[in-house]
Structure 1
């Protein structure tokens, strides 16, 4: 297996962001989920290895406040859609003109927002995402703000407990994470008309954390649906995730 190589690039406003590269071939940009990292989302469980074996170069940034990327405490570092702005900075840094774009959960939201802003990948994958996760993001955002505000006091049985433990495991900077959450806005279903490329909506069979994947696929012009085993947390750990990505991107 090709080992990932880590480098750094400058995101929006000068923030230093990590990029993990793996493989050679057709470029595919993979955006991880909230409080996760490229290592956990794509590398650890073999998804990137499946893609590289199929002839892709995996380009896997750590989003700001995540992984090895900077987590500034200055509110000015978090303008609206800052993650999409960072994605645009990555595409410009790599001078990409022909590539695919994959996002999981927060990464899917970032990918959708990036395309709405004008990014044009050949193919798009929105994984771990439903229509309500885009159009009703404010409710999801409030959930995570509550996790941060009650961090360390949430007990087993509370719906927020698993998120608290994941936040703890990933050693996320909670001050920066709270600022980042405030940079995200709802996406009106009508805005999805800007997503015109072939799109795969991919979700775990027990994952409804971000709403209905079927509703999201129905709202897109050229969407197909695929399902893998698992919940929102476990679906990124199964080999079926990589298989579905390879099949669609080929």
Structure 2
């Protein structure tokens, strides 16, 4: 059930460099614009599910942030092209760069913050490694192994797509398939996306981002490995915990509270 809010959410379109239309959900504080914060959702999810539905966006907007919440390509309201050429290895980082440029953030524009959940975490960290300069960076639902071994993680979800019509309760891929069905995922586009993003981030690259980083994870979330090890591998990171597993932690109000606390410092 969606959290009630008197702060409206608008839906805008940004055209990526390859012509793909990306949907961006916007929410501003009451009374006008606030501090820009870009939020990226996780695999097979959406801005609505990860950030809006359970009230995290509202908490952040009420704390004075203007939110930019893209749906990743091949997800939700964004386009899902079936042309393999639309999925180079850096496609999600490219899309993030295009959204940031569209709204005039960074590089002489307004300072901004970045946060991502799961695949969104990998993308915002990849953006920082590629030269983006957010004021602060939050990695939610991510551990060191989820970055170092992303090829294996992506392979699991590619197998889930390939077993979409045969997975049964009790099978390894059942919950992933069930979530794809709920989210009405375009499986052709999702498979192309996962195949393009199969390259792991090299451990040496973790020394690149120098901004303050929050590694935020559910107390029972082991899906992407060790959050503590990830924080230790980054130059300027801290860990924080919220209740829940990889899936259930998204529903916890503590998620929004921890983000407000970190970005509001």
Pairing 1:4-15 to 2, within 5 Å after superposition: 4-15=9-20
Among 112, 118, 140, which residue is 1:127 paired with?
A: 140
Q: 1:69 aligns with which of 78, 90, 96?
A: 78
Q: Which residue of 2 aligns with 1:117?
A: 130
Name the residue aligned to 2:121.
108
Distance in 2 between residues matched to 1:63 and 1:72, nearest whole Å: 12
Does 2:64 match 1:51?
no
Q: Determine whether 1:189 maps to 2:203.
A: yes
Equivalent position to 1:33, from 42, 46, 51: 42
Residues 188-220 of structure 1: per-residue CA shift (max 9 Å, x gap): 111111111000000000101011111100000
Query: What's 1:149 paired with?
Result: 162
State the distance in 2 between where 1:157 and 1:204 align: 23
1:159 and 2:172 aligned: yes
Supply the distance in 1 between the matched residues of 2:184 and 2:152 (Cα, whole angstroms).
24
SS of equivalent residue, structure 1 residue 195: coil
- The aligned residue for residue 98 of structure 2 is 89
Residue 157 of structure 1 and its aligned partner are, at CA, apart by: 1.2
**Distance (whole Å) between structure 2 residues aligned to residue 162 and residue 170 of structure 1:** 12
TM-score, normalising length: structure 1? 0.99
Once the two structures are TM-superposed, the CA of residue 152 in structure 1 deviates from its matched residue by: 2.1
Could you list the runs of 5+ residues in structure 1 that have no partner in the other structure? none
TM-score (norm 2): 0.93
Q: Distance in 2 between matches of 1:12 and 1:212?
A: 35
Picking from 227, 230, 254, the partner of 1:216 is: 230
CA distance in structure 2 between the aligned counterparts of 1:18 and 1:168, rounded to whole angstroms: 21
Provide the rounded CA distance (Å) in 1 between the counterparts of 2:209 and 2:245.
Answer: 26
CA distance in 1, matches of 2:225, 2:171: 20
Distance 1:28 1:13 in 2: 24
Gaps of 5+ in 2: 1-5
Question: Secondary structure at the residue paired with 2:14?
Answer: strand
Q: Report runs of 4+ in structure 1 exceeding 6 Å deviation.
A: none
Q: Is the 8 A contact 1:22 1:52 kept in 2?
A: yes
CA distance in 2 between partners of 1:231 and 1:181 (Å): 23
- Determine the structure 2 residue equivalent to 1:172: 185
Aligned-pair CA distance for 1:159: 2.3
1:130/1:212 contact within 8 Å kept: yes
Q: Compute the RMSD of aligned alpha carbons.
A: 0.7
